[in-house]
Structure 1
């Protein structure tokens, strides 16, 4: 006897679930439905007379958000990258993005150390051609969830001229904002 399983996918993200299907002789087989992912992106535009551009992609699956950021047009060396509180990159110097995203009111610091902002991603290193990539995976962020202490939608990604020293308050003494892009939910 053939069994047919019809799965209706409703919404942007499915919560993982299991469905039991009866087989011949009353044996049971568990079929796991794969969780559909949510995706958000930030298109980075040059600020403060820089030539920076790039794309930051966020993908959420099984309660974790994976970030991959690719940049060009940087000066060789280290540059800070942060999530800022406002999804507004309209100011020529990126100041419209506001301060670091810090929904839990912590001091600035290094990611996953004693105290840090949820927007304190860290530093990336540009090669001699001005190209840089950085990745991060965390359960401290979410994409379009109801928890405002985790939801990254409507925030912005800012790349700075200098490295983050991980200690100066309130933002790591990272210098000018040279790239900015709003984090936007991708619609499928």
Structure 2
């Protein structure tokens, strides 16, 4: 056997060993799950008046009250008012069936109103050009169920409005028509 042929055999053997080590390393590596959030306690699948999917709001109970993780699809750039409404019904085209804002304490509307705010008053959703609307919202001191809770006998709905909420005008912040609505239901769905 010549030195050249020994070198070729060694190179082939080294390549085989390196390949085996690479494969064994991959076999022991588990892929991390894509979604690391726990399943929500409730959710609302959002639709517009024509029935098109406009996003989803996932609701979680936490130590301070409730947290909403929102993904809004199909909205142009702009600012949109959004609220939790008092009735779990979303009848198109105007979604008036969702009732007024969730307001178990009888407050006035708006975070900037000295007599406010409703439990269902939320910050505005700002959608940037070429982006999907995303927001993490907190309802501090809000209950999930029970007396004055989100999921009472007639349920609740998540609504996105056509324009921005001015955060002070009672009862709705002059946020315009309701352009997307989703009934809040227990669990994470499918």
Q: TM-score, normalised by structure 2?
A: 0.70
Task: Identify which range, 171-180 or 53-62, moves more after superposition.
Answer: 53-62
Distance 1:104 1:50, change over 3 A: same
Distance 1:121 1:75, change over 3 A: same
What is the CA-CA distance between 1:110 and the residue it aligns to?
A: 1.3
What is the CA-CA distance between 1:160 and the residue it aligns to?
A: 0.4
CA distance in 1, matches of 2:147, 2:156: 14
Distance 1:108 1:187, change over 3 A: closer
User: Are residue 99 (structure 1) and residue 100 (structure 2) matched?
Assistant: yes
Task: Give the structure 1 partner of residue 70 of structure 2.
Answer: 69
Task: Give the structure 1 partner of residue 44 of structure 2.
Answer: 42
Which has the larger share of strand? 1
CA distance in 1, matches of 2:159, 2:151: 13
Where in structure 1 are there 5+ consecutive unaligned residues? 1-35
CA distance in 2, matches of 1:69, 1:58: 9
SS at match of 1:70: strand
Task: Give the structure 1 partner of residue 132 of structure 2.
Answer: 131
What is the CA-CA distance between 1:60 and the residue it aligns to?
A: 1.1
Distance 1:187 1:178, change over 3 A: closer
What is the CA-CA distance between 1:121 and the residue it aligns to?
A: 0.8
SS at match of 1:122: coil
Task: Give the structure 2 partner of residue 151 of structure 1.
Answer: 150
Distance 1:164 1:63, change over 3 A: closer
8 Å CA contact retained: 2:56, 2:72: yes
8 Å CA contact retained: 1:63, 1:142: no
CA distance in 2, matches of 1:104, 1:128: 37
Where in structure 2 are there 5+ consecutive unaligned residues? 1-37
Which has the larger share of helix? 2
Deviations 1:55-111 (A, max 9, x none): 000111345322100001112111001001110002311111111111111111117
How many residue pairs match? The answer is 150
8 Å CA contact retained: 1:111, 1:121: no
Q: TM-score, normalised by structure 1?
A: 0.70
User: Are residue 59 (structure 1) and residue 56 (structure 2) matched?
Assistant: no
What is the CA-CA distance between 1:131 and the residue it aligns to?
A: 1.7
Deviations 1:125-170 (A, max 9, x none): 0121352111123442232x2122x334610000001000112221
Task: Give the structure 2 partner of residue 168 of structure 1.
Answer: 169
